[in-house]
Amino acid sequence: MPFRARTAIFRWSLHTVPYRIHHHQPHSLHSSSSFIPHKFTSLAQTQVYGESVETSDDDGFLSWLERKAGKTMLNLKFIVILILRSLFASKAIKTGDCILKVPYRVQITADNLPAKIKSLISEEVANVAKLAVLLLIERKLGQGSQWNPYICRLPWQEELHNTIFWNESELEMIHRSSVYWETINQKSQMERDFLAIRPIFECFSQSFGDITYKDFMYACTLVGSRAWGSTNGLSLIPFADFVNHDGNSEAIVMSDDDKQLSEVISDRAYAPGEQVLIRYGKFSNATLMLDFGFTVPYNIYDQVQIQLDIPKHDPLHKMKLELMQQYFVPSRKNAENLEHSWNIFTIKEVKWPKGKGKGLPQSLRAFARVLSCTNRQELDDLVVEAAQTDGRLGRRPLPDVNKEIQAHLMLSSLIGQLIEERSAAIMSLEESSNSSSFCVRVPVRRFMAQDLLRGELRILNSAFTWLENYCLSST
């Protein structure tokens, strides 16, 4: 399908690469790690929180960017830049104003790799890793890099709170969440990519010095967390990646292939001094903390992954397993883990306790109906019904009301256990936060863990309530 001339572009994610990493470690206004701005660099004077702040481009970043992009093209008339990598309005912004334009020629892509290095990188290596190699090379060049003013503004590893940088005691705080295992898997994928690329680093060690796995992991996190996917491929967009996230915002980075630029159109009015925000995507706290290194206290996109297993002692274990693998197609998100993805489900908030259960996957309820079967005839009946309808197994309520209730009670029991686990974990965090023996090096990570677990608890409680109501109304 051909791309339209003007398209939305989104942060790179697990849906398109083997591991999920997104933006810099921003301080969302709604984040536990939010801050009060104190120093600006800009081309103009502005009012911030009632104070007049004379701003200047004291490290040459904006001057460099304007030279590279062209002052008219860059369109900085509305924006000032905060040293801590956040953007604020220098003057009033109206809804519909174009507040930022960055031409493609300013953006960094894997095409900027030196030809002699690019030719050595296997096509199997993900674009995130390729761009990470470029970033490492340019960082090693220092002032000799054409991107140096931008690269100097990227956060250091010590500033990042992505879960791949958490130590064992910090990861233990989120052990009950799927983020724990996603973090382990992400680190393993990075190690595999590094092993594939390390021989290239060794070939050019005289030019770029020794590059370690730690360097590569840091670069992958920077690239994957800041990069945007578009018709132009995977790109780092200087200046645009300083805009922080608001999940409620409708403003996104757009790609205009006709004009060869990326731009942001404001979705609301801003007074001078207000932080300008966009939406990176509809991401849960699980994604935000794994990929971005921050969370929001109440995230409307929160969700919970749960796994449902067929009991080993079930006499119909083999038959049920075969049916599950045949009828329950793995989701795109889990496509790299085909052996186990068919029994992993994502629950979202069920907002109407007496409604149709939107938020609980139909495939999860179908799975429970299969599990509730106690003889081969019941399973055969489900297969016949699937053939006579839309080909999907167990999507209709079971004819036997008691069996239907049993299937949903099974789910409510499982979710009840998960609720107890999350509740205990939250209580433990709250009790231990005041203890001198609590081993978290960075307090913000404890708040992130609490945001994650509280969001998951909210989702699980909504699902549990709906299941209880469904069983009561079915009697």
pLDDT above 70: residue 431: yes
pLDDT at residue 202 tops 60: yes
What DSSP assignment string belongs to 347-406?
Answer: EE----TTSS-TTS-HHHHHHHHHHH--SHHHHHHHHHHHHHTTS-TT-SPPSSHHHHHH
- Tokens representing 263 are 């731009």
pLDDT at 353: 80
Residue 254 and residue 102: Cα distance in Å, rounded?
A: 10
Structure-derived torsion over alpha carbons of residues 123, 196, 337, 12, reported in degrees to the nearest 10: -60
Helix (H) or strand (E) holding 124: none
Whole-angstrom distance, CA of residue 370 vs CA of residue 325: 12
Instruction: Report the distance separating Cα 28 and Cα 329, nearest Å.
Output: 36
Per-residue pLDDT, averaged over 414-420, amounts to 97
pLDDT in tens, 2-45: 333 445 565 554 333 333 333 333 434 333 333 323 323 333 33
Q: What are the residues facing 87 on neighbouring strands?
A: 81
At residue 257, the pLDDT reads 86
For the ranges 72-76, 267-271, 426-430, which has the lowest average pLDDT? 72-76
Dist CA 379 CA 401 (whole Å): 16
**98 vs 11: which has the higher pLDDT:** 98
CA–chain centroid gap for 318, Å, is: 36
Dihedral sign for Cα atoms in the order 176, 182, 184, 187: negative
Q: Give the pLDDT of residue 402.
A: 95
Residue 446 pLDDT > 80: yes
Residue 51 has pLDDT above 80, yes or no: no
* pLDDT at residue 47 greater than cutoff 60: no
Average pLDDT score over the chain: 82
Confidence of residue 209 (pLDDT cuts 50, 70, 90): confident
Q: How confident is the model at residue 59 (pLDDT cuts 50, 70, 90)?
A: low
| pLDDT tens digit sequence for 126-162 | 888 999 999 999 998 889 999 999 998 899 998 899 9
Is 23 within 8 Å of 246 (Cβ atoms)?
no
Residue predicted with more confidence, 144 or 442:
144
264-297 pLDDT per residue, tens: 999 999 998 889 999 999 999 999 999 899 999 9
For 458-474, the pLDDT digits (tens) are 999 999 999 999 999 98
* Strand 344-348 relative to strand 6-8, pairing: unpaired
* CB neighbour list of residue 375: distance below 8 Å, 6 or more residues apart: 316
Instruction: Quote the pLDDT of residue 56.
Output: 43
Could you tell me what percent of the chain has a pLDDT over 70? 80
Tell me the per-residue pLDDT of 319-371, one tens digit each, with 9 for 90 and over: 999 998 888 865 544 433 434 478 899 999 999 888 889 999 999 999 999 99
Give the chain's length: 475
Among residues 221, 229, 168, 167, the alpha carbon closest in space to that of 193 is found at: 221
Residue 401 dihedral angles phi and psi, to the nearest 5°: -60, -40
Say whether 108 sits in a helix, a strand or coil. strand
Residue 434's pLDDT band, with cuts at 50, 70 and 90, is low
Number of H helices, E strands in the chain: 16, 16
CA distance 284 to 301: 5
Whether the CB-CB separation of 347 and 361 falls below 8 Å is answered with yes
